[in-house]
Copies of this chain bind each other. A is one copy, B any other.
């Protein structure tokens, strides 16, 4: 039997746990996994592109557990009432190869992306940051806002989205939570006075949601929307002014903002910064850029956290997905009744 966390159970678990507590827990697991980065069997995700979107598989293993996520990205989905991103994931036992947990990950991905962004910003953002600009207020936005409040104490947000409805939704969701939300008149207005800028838009194009003049010295840029070949958000001049931090270079070179740069352009792996083996922020004037595309170890950590959180609770059910004949060399016994004698064939 494999434990299964469907959407209703994920919702119930998250509501009972609290979103900020869950993001903080995932961030803790995530940081522990970043600190043992070298133990992982890592691979760039396997993407299947179509004209309307992408479907990806993201596997990772630490030699004891194996995990993967299925995730799609379809920017035109909301126009017909569907989610841009949906996801599910599996954990398995490396020793036996048997799956152990299957979980919805549309909601869990939002949590792990917020946890990753906030964990990285805690290491790179200027000390004493109080205000974050958010360019793009889609489905990820509230989770980002709560992640930055939980880990960095950010309580003032300046938002901008080309879709006024997305801003309406965000404001309505955040206002009751004691977060100050200022609705800007454009991206340039949104970044005014912000020490952190999060870009998270969905268009599968080389867009420029932030131009070079909008990025003041000292800012930390949390660039999470550019995550696909041909899908970027930043003016490349910003990238040349700042120091760039990434998850897994072989994947980010293909998918991240740095696809716009020379393939040899220097980047720093974030796990090295967390381990103290590479420098992060070194001055008040420095622009730090987290060119985040989402990496499999983050999903692995989120699944690992979820597995231990739901273990022994009723937030998961058992599903029968592993054929287990009494004699392991006799799989046929399970279906022998379906084999007919020659007179019947």
Contacts and interface: CB of A to CB of B under 8 A. Distances in A.
Given A7-B321, A57-B68, A72-B92, A342 B143 contact: no
| Secondary structure call for the A interface | mixed
Contacts of A329: 78, 138-139, 163, 165-166, 169
Nearest to A345: B20
A216 interface: no
Contacts of A327: 169
Contact of A331 (B92, B107, B323): B107
Contacts of A16: 338
Given A150-B345, A173-B330, A322-B104, A41 B46 contact: no
Contacts of A15: 335, 337-338
Given A83-B323, A99-B70, A139-B330, A338 B55 contact: no
Nearest to A54: B97
Contacts of A66: 48, 55
Interface string A80-102: 01111010101010111111000
A256 interface: no
A11 B322 CA distance: 12
A332 B319 CA distance: 27
A341 B177 contact: yes
A123 interface: no
Q: Which of A321, A325, A328 has the most CB of B within 10 A?
A: A321
Interface string A306-345: 0000000000000111111101111111111111111101
B98 A82 contact: yes
Nearest to A111: B335
A154 interface: no
A73 interface: yes
21 contacts: A18-B338, A18-B339, A46-B59, A48-B61, A54-B97, A55-B59, A57-B57, A57-B68, A72-B96, A86-B99, A86-B323, A106-B331, A107-B335, A138-B329, A149-B345, A150-B345, A169-B327, A169-B329, A173-B330, A173-B333, A178-B342
A57 B48 contact: no
A17 interface: yes
B48 A323 contact: no
A99 B110 contact: no
Interface in A41-62: 41, 43, 46, 48-50, 52-55, 57, 59, 61
Contacts of A72: 92, 96-98
